[in-house]
Structure formats: C-alpha cells, structure tokens
Amino acid sequence: MGIVVLNHNHDGENCIPHLKEAIFQINHTGQEHAGICAYNPDLYDDERNIIRYTANGPVRDLEIPKSVEAYSGIGNVSKHRDHQPLYFEDSPLGQFSLTFDGYIGNMEEIKKQLRVPLFGKNDAELAAHLISLGDDFPDGVQKMSDLIDGCFTLGILTGDGELYAARCPKATKPLSYGRGKRGFAAISESRAFRKIGMTYDGDFEPGQIVRIDNYGIHTVKRMPTKKIDVCSFLWGYYSWVDSYVDGVSVGAVREAAAKKVAKRDIENGLRIDVATSIEDSGKSYGEGAAEAFDVPYKSTLIKYPYYFRSYDTPKNKRKGVAFGKVSTVDFRIEGKKMYIWDDSLRRGTVIHNLIDLLKKANPDEIHLRFGTPRNTHFCLYDYKDQPDDVLPANRYKTDEELAKFLKVDSVGFPTLDEWVKSIEETSNGNIDRKNLCLRCYEE
C-alpha cells in the first residue's frame, strides 16, 4: 500500500492532477484499488466539503472529471479492495477522510473490547473509529496507536481542509516529506516528489504526527517510541529502485548486497559470461554483480510493461501475470553461463516458470542468486493465509537442495549479516541493525 497527503497554496493551481500523479508514481505498492479525497468548500451547497473518487484496479482506472478542483487532498493505492481513502460524515470529530497503510494484529480483540460495530478485516475502518474517539485528530491518532498491535502510516483530511500525516512509533512503514513552490506533501515513497514539482526533504521520524498547511509541515505531537522496527524488505523489494528510505538509497543497498554475494562466488571459483536479472526489482542486484565480476550486464528476461506487478496481485492470478509479462532475448542467452538475480525467494510461485522459459533459449549454465536472505517467515505485519513451513527456504534447507528444486546449476543468497551490512554501510552508519525488522529471515 501507499499514501499521499498533499497541500497546495490557495493562490496556487488545482491540486487534483498532482494528487493523482503522486499516487500513480507509487502504484507499484498496490494495484487492486486507488482513490483520492480532496477539499473544496465551494463544490457543494450543503456542509460537505470533501470530494471522493475511488476505483478498483490501478491508478489508470481512476476517473476524475477534469472540471474538479481542490486545494488539498489525500490519496491511496492498495493491494486490497478496501475503498480507500475512507470518508466519514458524522464522526465525533466531524467529517473527515482517512488514508491508512497499516496492519492491526489485534483487531478482533479491540472490536470485542470496545464493541466496535465493524465487519470484516478492514484495518483502515477500525483505525478511523479509534481516531474519532480522540479529543482532536492528533490525540486520536495517538490513542489509536496506543491500542493497536501493529504498524501504520496515515493521512487525514478534515472537513475544514486541515491535513495531518503520521508515522507509527515503530516506523515499520516508510513516509517521506517534501516541498515545492506549489505547497507541501507527505508520500510513502520519495520518488514521487520530483514528478509533482517538489523536492524530497527527508523522512518522518518514528511516532511523528504533523499538520500540513500553506506555510509548511509542522510537528504537532510525538508518540513515545519503545522499539523502532523499520522493515528491511523496503530496500530489498517493496520500494522502487530510485527511492530513498530513511535517507538511504534503495538501488545502492541492492548493488551493495549483490557485490558481497558476487565476491564470495568469485572466491569460490565461479565463472560466468553474463550477469542478468528478473527485472525490474532484480536489476540493481544484477548490475552490482556484473560490476563485481567485471562482465557485462544484459537484459535477458524482459518485461512487457502493460502488465500488473505480480507480487501484489491476488494469489490466484499471480503466476499468469508474472509469466505473461516476461519474454526472453534469446541471442543473449544461448550457450552462455548465466548469472541471474531476483530480489527474493518468498513463495516461489513464479520462479519455476521463469527458469523454464529461460531454459528454452538454451543457456549453458544457470546460476540463480537472490538479493535478500533466505525468507523463512511470512511478514509479521501482514495477514497470512499459509503457514511458514510452506516457504521454499524452510522446505529445502541447503542451497544444493534448492538448486535441485528450482532446476538450476546453483543457488545463492546474502547471509543475514551481509544484508544488514549492506544497509548499514550504505546509510553511512545512520541506520543500526537493532532498528531493523529482520523477522522474515530469522531461523
């Protein structure tokens, strides 16, 4: 999921085109639903000042009339059809809308404890209910944060046009801020700022709640932090390669991790002809490995750009989407010793088909490497529909067993220490291991 909170100065231009462009630039974080809510006090004759447009599917399917104008707004892209941003007309705090990227692990307990009349597993709806119990919006965000067992980032648009944004005390999920001549914004990924004429200025601190208005971004509350738990997989896969997470380049971390693995392979006598990857998220790994081996990087499995991102596609569609969007550049493969990189091995849903496709181009050898360590657990901060023991890293304990299962000549991963050092070293010491969530990789 991803969120956008955007304010334009009242004497500036309409914010709607930039609001939609911003959620488009983070569409890789969720493609099942997209939406915006925006503030325009002149649009309605009654007391409602918030307009709302949502659509199932990617941002390109979100239709907003060109005549619609607004000063400020929030946006959301989601891997669930959860109809965000949500709009509430008669809450104890008045009308408001909420964009929420988060996970509430103790949802059922809270619903029973507070007798909350909610249906299904809609984290955003429960978050909105808890926020509305506060004395004001910042107080409500803190009360919600204190009650839940999970993590979040969020944006709020009030019926008076006020904007709030927050990152939870664990800082598990990313949230950046930026500015430009038109106004100010908070966005899940830094890459979006340049596309709307703004500069990326930094990242929210753990527990920080801000108000965004015509004059800037103002901290209004800091929630107490017990344990920082930044998701390390943000650098491994979730974030786009040109983004920064807490000031650390995603692409640079990936190249650093690949070089560490390649160094071990060189020391062990591996010989290759070409480095390649499963693009897009594997490309930086492949480029870093090519540099370490001093061989060319070649795109061999190319992606047709009009398909969805398979990882965030529903499970029953994932294999077809991933396979349908990839084809081979055969002359770069035939007779070559291939050193091919993917970002991670999680479910293993797709990789078998891609290896079969690659083999049809007659490579001499296939040496498969993954940019992140062995994934032994599903995410602690997400709903899971399968037990951890179905993961290939748990079913096949050695690289040799995995290589046989995947039908390649060899398989390799960075060690957990190598992965952590790639992040720490790229951050110039600004990120410490103790503040990273590494549960996906722990034995």
pLDDT digit string (tens) for 380-430? 998 887 899 999 999 999 999 999 999 999 999 999 999 999 999 999 989
User: According to the model, what pLDDT value does residue 385 have?
Assistant: 77
Domains of the chain as residue ranges with CATH: 2-228 (3.60.20.10), 250-431 (3.40.50.2020)
Q: What is the pLDDT at residue 311? A: 44
What pLDDT does 221 receive? 97
- 21 φ, ψ to 5°? -65, -40
How high is the pLDDT of residue 189? 98
Q: What is the mean pLDDT of each run of 10 residues along the chain (443 residues)?
A: 92 86 96 93 72 94 92 94 91 95 93 76 90 97 97 96 97 98 96 97 98 96 95 96 97 98 98 94 96 96 68 49 76 97 89 92 98 95 87 95 96 98 95 96 84
CA 281/CA 417 separation, integer angstroms = 21
3-state secondary structure the chain: CEEEEEEECCCCCCCHHHHHHHHHHCHHHCCCEEEEEEECCCCCCCCCCEEEEEEECCHHHCCCCCCCCCCEEEEEEECCCCCCCEEECCCCCCCEEEEEEEEECCHHHHHHHHCCCCCCCCHHHHHHHHHCCCCCHHHHHHHHHHHCCEEEEEEEEECCCCEEEEECCCCCCCCEEEEECCEEEEECCCHHHHHCCCEEEEECCCCEEEEEECCEEEEEEECCCCCCCEECHHHHHHCCCCCEECCEEHHHHHHHHHHHHHHHHHHCCCCCCEEEEECCCCHHHHHHHHHHHCCCECCCEEECCCCCCHHHCCHHHHHHHHHHCEEECHHHCCCCEEEEEECCCCCCCCHHHHHHHHHCCCCCEEEEEECCCCCCCCCCCCCCCCCHHHCHHHHCCCHHHHHHHHCCCEEECCCHHHHHHHHHHHCCCCCCHHHEECHHHCC
Assigned token pair, 232: 């390390």
Q: Which pair of tokens denotes residue 79? A: 């891997």
Separation of alpha carbons 153 and 142, rounded Å: 12
Q: What's the angle, vertex CA 16, arms to CA 11 and CA 20, rounded to 5?
A: 145
Identify the pLDDT of residue 306: 65
**pLDDT at residue 44 in the model:** 60
Confidence (pTM): 0.92
Dist CA 406 CA 410 (whole Å): 9
Instruction: Give the whole-angstrom CA distance, residue 7 versus residue 160.
Output: 13
